[in-house]
Amino acid sequence: MVLVLALGDLHVPHRAADMPAKFKSMLVPGKIQHIICTGNLCIKEVHDYLKSLCPDLHITRGEYDEDARYPETKTLTIGQFKLGLCHGHQVVPWGDLDSLAMLQRQLDVDILVTGHTHQFKAYKHEGGVVINPGSATGAYSSITYDVNPSFVLMDIDGLRVVVYVYELIDGEVKVDKIDFKKTATMHS
């Protein structure tokens, strides 16, 4: 059982002061094995905070990130799964699943994690799974109205990944989960 935290679009301090306290109290150092971040942190303070939660931190560049050295895309293998990471402002039309599927094929990954729209999505197609963890701070988005703070925790176990999405709705943390199983035909 490998826990992967996926989050992004925090936009601290431009659009939000900080992650919600209820989220911060749930994210305890030492419990998570990997963190993948879609980008738009935006400042070093957030980077350091995430690093304190887990040293294996992967970040891709969002268009507001202070650190210009983050890569545009990133791929990594965790267990049986290949994961791809990209902020998503590069893929037009923004949030379009078919265009994102193309990126997924290009990166050749089972799970593609992107952000930018600040709206949680978990979508399965024959090529794999596309996940958008939303905005961990509920930051303003020109694309999505009424953004609720959200992040995703993936539990990777063999050929199975359970995606837990945590959303802060009206001050309460609501959890939902989605199961995905990797089929043999997904990848050679």
Partner 1 sequence: MLPDGGADDEERWLAEGIAGVQQNAFYMHRAVDSNNLKDALKYSAQMLSELRTSRLSPHKYYDLYMRAFDEMRKLEMFFREETRRGSCSVVDLYELVQHAGNVLPRLYLLCTVGSVYIKSKEAPAKDVLKDLVEMCRGIQHPLRGLFLRSYLSQISRDKLPDIGSEYEGDADSINDAVEFVLQNFIEMNKLWVRMQHQGPVREKEKRGKERNELRDLVGKNLHVLSQIEGVDLDMYKETVLPRILEQVVNCKDELAQFYLMDCIIQVFPDEYHLQTLETLLSAFPQLQPNVDIKTVLSQLMDRLSSYATTSPEVLPEFLQVEAFAKFSKAIGKVIEAQVDMPVVGAVTLYVSLLTFTLRVHPDRLDYVDQVLGACVKKLSGNAKLQDSRATKQIVALLSAPLEKYSDIVTALELSNYPRVMDYLDNSTTKVMALVIIQSITKNTACISTSDKIEALFDLIKGLIKDMDGAQDDELDDDDFKEEQSSVARLIHMLHNDDHEEMLKILCTVQKHILQGGPKRLPFTVPSLVFSALKLVRRLQGQDGDAIGEEVPATPKKIFQILHQTIEALSCVPSPELALRLYLLCAEAANDCDLEPVAYEFFTQAFILYEEEIADSKAQITAIHLIIGTLQRMNIFGVENRDTLTHKTTGYSAKLLKKPDQCRAVYACSHLFWTDDQDGIMDGERVLLCLKRALRIANAAQQMANVTRGNSGSVALFIEILNKYLYFFEKGIPEITNTVIQDLIELIRTEKQSDNSVADPSTEAFFASTLRYIEFQKQKGGSLSEKYEQIKTT
**Which spans of this chain sit near partner 1 (rule: CB under 8 A)?**
12-18, 43-45, 63-64, 89-90, 92-94, 98-99, 101-102, 105-106, 108, 126-127, 139-140, 142-143, 145, 188
User: 25 vs 188, which CB is nearer to partner 1?
Assistant: 188
User: 30 vs 98, which CB is nearer to partner 1?
Assistant: 98
Question: Whole-number minimum distance, CB 8 to partner 1, in Å?
Answer: 17
Question: Whole-number minimum distance, CB 61 to partner 1, in Å?
Answer: 9
Do 180 and 160 meet the contact criterion of CB atoms below 8 Å apart?
Answer: yes
3-state secondary structure of 150: strand
User: 48 vs 176, which CB is nearer to partner 1?
Assistant: 48
Task: Output the CA torsion sign for 88, 86, 185, 119.
Answer: negative
The type of residue at 14 is H
Question: Whole-number minimum distance, CB 166 to partner 1, in Å?
Answer: 20
CA distance 83 to 92: 21
CA atoms within 13 Å, Cβ hemisphere of 134: 24
User: 50 vs 101, which CB is nearer to partner 1?
Assistant: 101
Question: Whole-number minimum distance, CB 179 to partner 1, in Å?
Answer: 21
CA atoms within 13 Å, Cβ hemisphere of 23: 24
User: 34 vs 89, which CB is nearer to partner 1?
Assistant: 89
CA distance 179 to 92: 28
What backbone torsions phi and psi does residue 143 show, to the nearest 5 degrees?
Answer: -95, -40
The structure tokens listed for 68 are 């210009």
Question: Whole-number minimum distance, CB 15 to partner 1, in Å?
Answer: 5
Question: Whole-number minimum distance, CB 153 to partner 1, in Å?
Answer: 25
User: 97 vs 178, which CB is nearer to partner 1?
Assistant: 97
Burial category of 55 from C-beta neighbours within 10 Å (exposed 0-12, middle 13-18, buried 19 and up): exposed
Cis peptide bond prior to 42, omega within 30° of 0 = yes
